[in-house]
């Protein structure tokens, strides 16, 4: 899928092709982060939510008669259905363009950049290469949601879709028009129709911004935080003034701490190979990169529990507060928690500067690990300034082309061919001078002689397919 962006911060114009692994490289203040976040916001929950608000407010240029007819039928007859395949076939371009046009209005709030202006920003999406896969994903997806209006939990409105069927059905039992406001009914119907587009494209979007090392402190129980800083006075206050990406990451921790059960996740893994794989990957990053395990202070959900880090050592009492652990542990703890409790196939992760606080060998390990995540069904956008990371990614692409990749896996740090990634699954862009240049050629080499000190045009000539650089 391709995205054309104009007038976004320092980016005058850039065309990006998103792949399972998309890499933005370049110096500071060249638009890498804003571009990554803009794209992810449009595809994710935030874009869906803002579009839904605009549709209900009547501020969109495009109308959806099928939706209005279904809402009227539901009000009059108590049931309605919409053929999602037909609906998106007819409204695909209009819907994604509506969200893209709206993005200029809400990007300042999303980014927490109150002084920035996005008035001239333009975003255009071309998703036709994934269109058929999108429709197949919508058809495969089962769905059920209920709306209750009182404390008894009595269901007034149902929405459901059978796996493999094109229709989403809405129905009710008894009279509900006098018990539910019209805007609530409209939001329920329109929201759950539009959400199928986003979930079929990317199951969910998660942000791991450069400020993630502070998350360990922000998700501590409010009673243990220091007074004097409004951001730390409680959960509601703690997210009130934050950009959405920070709020998004805090909610992963909050939900996991309050509701997450590792026992439940293990039970889910018994029937879901993807979840089982993500649990194994969470173990791998802890053992091979962190040199210890990240966990909560209590085995089951508890609002008072905190993160703890246990290094690999003979001392069984060596637990430490994750807040006080090394910067590398704080850097990667959010990724561990995500994989252990939250990850689902086809999620999109936006990771800002994954190399932060990591020495060169750890950076090489991490790009091998991130490639394993992509091969396990996750999508990743990273922004980076690391030559080590980019250079070693080239090695992984070249290794994937070998006749017998497993035979050379021992030469790499994690010693697994699962870290080798096809060049067809990678795109790489250099941000500079107001644009983004595609620097990955068809052979999997960098079309660039200098980047942060220089990357060879043929990395195998100097680095080879080796342990990393």
Per-residue pLDDT of the chain (469 residues; tens, 9 = 90+): 999 999 999 999 999 999 999 999 999 889 999 999 999 999 999 999 999 999 988 888 788 999 999 999 999 998 999 999 999 999 988 898 899 999 999 998 898 877 777 888 999 999 888 889 999 999 999 999 988 766 666 788 999 999 999 999 999 876 666 678 888 889 999 999 999 999 999 999 999 987 766 655 455 544 344 333 334 434 444 444 578 888 888 887 777 766 667 788 889 999 999 999 999 999 999 999 988 888 776 666 655 567 778 887 655 545 555 444 577 887 888 899 899 989 999 999 999 999 988 889 999 999 999 999 999 999 999 999 998 999 999 999 999 999 999 999 999 999 999 999 999 999 999 999 999 999 987 776 676 554 444 443 333 333 344 443 3
3-state secondary structure of 122: strand
Q: Give the tokens for residue 228.
A: 């004097």
What are the tokens at 136?
């197949």
**Helix, strand or coil, per DSSP, at residue 25:** strand
Cβ-based neighbours of 76, under 8 Å, separated by 6 or more: none
Q: What are the phi and psi torsion angles at 432 (to 5°)?
A: -170, 155
Q: How far apart (Å, rounded) are the C-alpha atoms in residues 17 and 439? A: 12
User: Residue 240 has which token pair?
Assistant: 């009130």
Angle at 48 between CA 47 and CA 51, to 5 degrees: 85
pLDDT of residue 7: 94
DSSP output for 167-235: EEEEE-SS--TTTS-HHHHHHHHHHHHHHHHHHHH-S-EEEE-GGGGGHHHHTS-GGGSPTT-GGGS-H
> Would the pTM count as exceeding 0.95?
no
Question: What token pair was written down for 384?
Answer: 């980076």
Residue 226: what pLDDT? 38
Over residues 394-441, the pLDDT tens digits come to: 999 999 999 999 999 999 999 999 999 999 999 999 999 999 999 987
Q: What is the pLDDT of residue 154?
A: 75
Pick the closest to residue 99 from 137, 57, 58, 54 (CA basis). Answer: 54
Q: Return the number of other C-beta atoms located less than 10 Å from residue 413's C-beta.
A: 20
Size of the chain in residues: 469
pLDDT at residue 37, as a whole number? 94
Q: How far apart are CA 310 and CA 293, in angstroms?
A: 5
For residue 386, the SS3 value is coil
C-beta of residue 21 within 8 angstroms of C-beta of residue 428: no
- Position 259 scores a pLDDT of 66
């Amino acid at each position: 899928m391709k995205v054309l962006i104009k007038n976004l911060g320092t980016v005058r114009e850039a065309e990006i092709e998103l792949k399972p692994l998309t890499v933005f490289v370049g110096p500071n203040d060249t638009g890498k982060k804003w571009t990554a976040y803009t794209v992810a916001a449009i595809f994710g929950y935030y874009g869906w939510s803002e579009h839904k608000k605009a549709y209900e407010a009547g501020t969109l240029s495009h109308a959806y008669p099928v939706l209005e007819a279904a809402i009227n039928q539901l009000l009059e007859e108590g049931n309605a259905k919409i053929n999602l395949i037909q609906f998106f076939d007819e409204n695909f371009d209009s819907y994604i363009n509506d969200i893209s046009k709206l993005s200029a209005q809400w990007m300042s709030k999303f980014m927490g950049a109150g002084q920035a202006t996005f008035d001239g920003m333009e975003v255009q999406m071309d998703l036709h290469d994934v269109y058929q896969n999108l429709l197949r994903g919508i058809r495969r997806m089962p769905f059920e949601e209920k709306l209750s209006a009182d404390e008894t939990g009595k269901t007034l409105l149902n929405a459901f879709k059978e796996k493999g069927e094109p229709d989403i059905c809405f129905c009710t039992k008894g009279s509900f028009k006098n018990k539910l406001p019209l805007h609530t009914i409209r939001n329920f119907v329109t929201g759950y129709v539009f959400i199928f587009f986003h979930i079929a494209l990317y199951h969910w979007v998660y942000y791991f911004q450069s400020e993630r090392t502070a998350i360990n402190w922000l998700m501590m129980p409010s009673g243990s935080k220091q007074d004097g800083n409004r951001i730390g006075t409680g959960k509601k206050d703690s997210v009130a003034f934050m950009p959405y990406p920070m709020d998004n990451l805090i909610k992963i921790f909050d939900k996991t701490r309050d509701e997450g059960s590792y026992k439940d996740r293990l039970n889910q893994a018994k029937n879901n190979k993807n979840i089982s794989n993500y649990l194994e990957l969470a173990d791998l990053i802890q053992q091979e990169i962190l040199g210890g395990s990240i966990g909560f202070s209590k085995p089951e959900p508890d609002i008072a529990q905190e993160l703890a880090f246990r290094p690999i050592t003979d001392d069984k009492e060596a637990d430490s507060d994750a807040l006080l652990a090394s910067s590398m542990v704080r850097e990667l703890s959010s990724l561990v928690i995500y994989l252990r409790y939250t990850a689902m196939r086809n999620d999109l992760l936006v990771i800002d500067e994954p190399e932060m606080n990591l020495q060169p060998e750890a950076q090489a390990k991490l790009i091998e690990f991130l490639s394993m995540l992509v091969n396990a069904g996750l999508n990743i956008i990273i922004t980076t300034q690391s030559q080590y990371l980019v250079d070693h990614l080239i090695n992984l692409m070249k290794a994937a082309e070998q006749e017998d990749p497993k035979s050379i896996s021992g030469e790499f740090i994690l010693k697994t061919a699962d870290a080798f990634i096809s060049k067809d699954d990678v795109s790489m862009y250099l941000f500079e001078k107001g644009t983004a240049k595609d620097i990955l050629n068809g052979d999997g080499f960098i079309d660039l002689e200098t980047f942060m000190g220089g990357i060879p045009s043929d990395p195998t000539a100097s680095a080879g397919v080796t342990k990393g650089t």
